[in-house]
Amino acid sequence: MTQRRVVVVGYEAAELLDIACITTSLEIANLHGASPAYDVRLASPGGRPVRCCSGLTLLAQETLERVTGPLDTLVVVGGTGHAAAAGNRLILGHVRRLSRESRRTASVCTGASVLAAAGLLDGRRATTHWRWAPSLAARYPKVVFDPDPIFIRDGGLCTAAGVTSALDLTLAFVEEDEGAALARSVARNLVTYLQRPGNQAQVSMFTDIPPPDNDLVRRTVDHVTGHLDADLSTAVLAARAGVSERHLTRLFLRHLGQPPARFVRRARVEAAAHLLVSTTLPLAAVASRCGFGTAETLRQAFVARYGVPPSRYRATHSSVNA
């Protein structure tokens, strides 16, 4: 069996985790598959060692300028050195060349800036780390940057969000190439979820902390997340906070960037996602606990948020049945 050639492009101040998530996942796939499926190489300009932004140094196995196709997969990683890499004509030229000779081209995190600077993302939808999405969108207006998804596929081009989203993208590649059974085996050995769907949000509302200088918003958020099965209409929340609906909406928009109703819906959907992967509760019970009332209402909200129905999400992500 011919191995799939995978080249990971590194550069000065690349992110070590971006590289490791890809290379380690594919090496585990080699160890647990019927035969080694991937030939994975780290390439750098001039074949020089890649000094990562963490301070650790990796030895490149290939000189970027000497790599020739055909390749199965070309991946450009991110890191604090991404802007310099995106301004390096040598790197851009060879990434552009190798992309033409690859079945698929991908980036992780701010590696999207290199693909964008090479013109490979023009007219396409792409993602990157949520913190960098606004600045990259401003710098590369021909690219439609969406900061929400874990990863995005647009034809033969794939872009992943921040750091560990490289795991999700690589698991998706393994499943596509070698089947779901091997992807599950790799995920178990990595002690991670099978894979999050690409359109799952990068940042959960449960990790978003309301500004500490607004007690009313914080108290309302605490009430919402602790009473998801209660009546959480804007009118009820405003009455409980002792303000008008209009004022509560104004405060939520200012401090959380969304109105109360949207925040409540997101909180309920993400709580449902957690219950689906961590319990064996029936869908109707999950819906009831999270304030949806019926399983159908939960299904509609779940598809709108994650792009897949609750049953499919549970089947592919459950930590109970892994």
Question: Which residues participate in catalysis according to the annotation?
Answer: 109
Q: Could you tell me the strand order of the sheet in which 71-76 lies?
A: 62-63, 38-44, 4-9, 71-76, 102-108, 157-160, 151-154
Query: At 36, which amino acid appears?
Result: P
What's the CA gap between 124 and 134, in Å, rounded? 16
What's the CA gap between 194 and 277, in Å, rounded? 11
Owner of token pair 């000094």: 51
Backbone φ, ψ for residue 57 (5° rounding) = -120, 135
DSSP 211: P
Query: At 43, which amino acid appears?
Result: A
Query: At 310, which amino acid appears?
Result: P
Q: What angle do CA 198, 200, 204 make, to 5 degrees?
A: 145
Residues ≥6 apart with Cβ < 8 Å to 181: none
CB 195 within 8 A of CB 149: no
